[in-house]
Structure 1
Amino acid sequence: MQAIIEQIKCLIIGSGPAGYTAAIYAARAALQPVMYTGMTPGGQLTQTTEVENFPGYPDGITGPEMMEDFRKQALRFGTDIRFGHVSDVDLGSYPYEVTIDGDKKLLAESIIISTGASAKWLGLESEARYNGFGVSGCAVCDGFFFKGQDVALVGAGDTAAEEATYLSKLVNKVYMLVRRDEFRASKPMIERVLNTPNIEVMYNTETLEVLGDGLNVTGVRVIDNKTGKEMDIPVTGLFVAIGHQPNTGIFKGALEMDETGYIKTVPGSTATALDGVFCCGDAQDPKYRQAITAAGTGCMAALDAERFLASRENQFAHLATALTA
């Protein structure tokens, strides 16, 4: 059995806007936060070329640069940032036991989960090659860059329908590529799509390849699943809206989640069903999934953790007073 190497007052699992914001607030509150970044320090934003909708950056900024700013600010206030992966958690007893990289064990008096979520992709080599150069997993984040242009969007659910209608207000035309002969979206969302003139729905259509000039997307190659006919659609952007997967697998069975794996928190709070365990950012948010909302819940998580730890100190103080009375 591996020995416990240290006890931590406030453990932050995962970086990105939520984790770094939690770190800034926790450090300023003297919680001595320790952050384990995960295998992708900075999260999804490190794969984003331009961020223009985050307040405080009037000229825009790249995702990696913004995450570096967040990291520096967290370090400035004393956050202990460590590169490492939380491989296991035992939330059965307090303080909570956490395993790092499969072999280091520590105890945490409070835990802030900010592991985020990952966009689901089609799995095409060309899709990965042009990710950030015309291929995007977020219309709200990147739609602005395609004003007046023609784009394609893959998906058939409510999120895809919502993103298609959002894009339709910015771009010249949206080709909505639906793999089957029907939507999976709700009836109101389907009607919204079908009543939007500049959205062309292409049923039974599957994406084979993202076309480009080596720098940016120039089109998509698709196939009609019924006829087997292939065709190239000239577009400057491809939005993939087939869902997100929260990075919460290690907490399965330990924390309450919805059917897709998002951790459930108390409404108006970041508290989970376990005392001292909080969740912020995209790991608990299937709806907004924006850097600014993630940062906001990171702030909430740190404040919630501070109040929890203060309440425990008060309990111990009262107990000590009672024992010595």
Structure 2
Amino acid sequence: MERSNGTLMVEFILLGFSDIPNFQRLLFGIFLIIYMSILLGNGLLIVITKTNPTLQTPMYFFLGNFSFLEICYTSVILPRMLMDLWTQKGNIPFLSCAVQTCFFFILGVAECLLLAVMAYDRYVAICKPLYYPLIMNHKVCVQLVVASWITGIPVLVGLTYEIFSLNFCASNKLNHIFCDAPPLLEVACGNTYGKELSIHVAALLFITIPFLLILTSYVKIITTILKLPSTSGKAKAFSTCSSHLMVVGLFYGSGSIVYLRPKSNQSAKSDKVFSLVYTTVTPVFNPLIYSLRNKDVIDALKKLLPK
């Protein structure tokens, strides 16, 4: 990519938390603990959903895959951010920035789609319990997971190419903690309206539509639950869905604020905060939410971990 003066753009500078230089090492320690917690917590969920005989059901199959996706998703962002905090330098080569953006897009979309698949699983389990083993057989579950991973790849690779084919002549400094579309468009020169429109269309397809599918599933789930005669039956049905709803709320809430709201001059700092929510906070709380609110997972952890 060339600047207007003909010099080659070879790297970007991620500003990250450079506005608070005295807290760089403290933030390094905090985010290192967060990353280790993500690896440990989600890793434990993967192990117990694969090895415990009582958890060999579609719901826990999807949960194990979701935990693996969380590890991959945060590993695209946090190791690089930790290095920048430790060295107090945010230099990232042009190609590395493009690769990070592409994988961030692909894994983020996979997470949205997998959350929709998990909502569909709960819908079938509660609204069509007699047909559940037939509909959600192992082959279908594998196909749904694979589809979640690969559906967005062609579109998102193309979108990444479009973004990085822009001329970056304003500056090579990105006021963000990782390479993402909004800060990249801010430093691009020329007319970026078409690229911004492409990003909003992709967000509509891969964020809004899965969210509407989740919403539709839970409207039907809640309607079915309210018709149940026993209070204990209602409580049990709600408990199987509440964990998933909490994760959906954290992830979609913060992600939608960053990608679907109008641009403003004051959005950069808040974008960093909301980006931290869906890249670090949600993956940290995912194992806690599913462990503390799920008796089967707690029992499996007790069997796995030494007394």
Query: Normalised by the size of structure 2, how large is the TM-score?
Result: 0.33
Structure having the larger proportion of residues in helix: 2
If you compute each CA radius of gyration, which structure gives the higher value, 1 or 2? 1
Considering fraction of residues, name the structure with more strand. 1
**Larger relative contact order (C-alpha < 8 A, sep ≥ 6)?**
2
State the TM-score, normalizing by the size of structure 1: 0.32
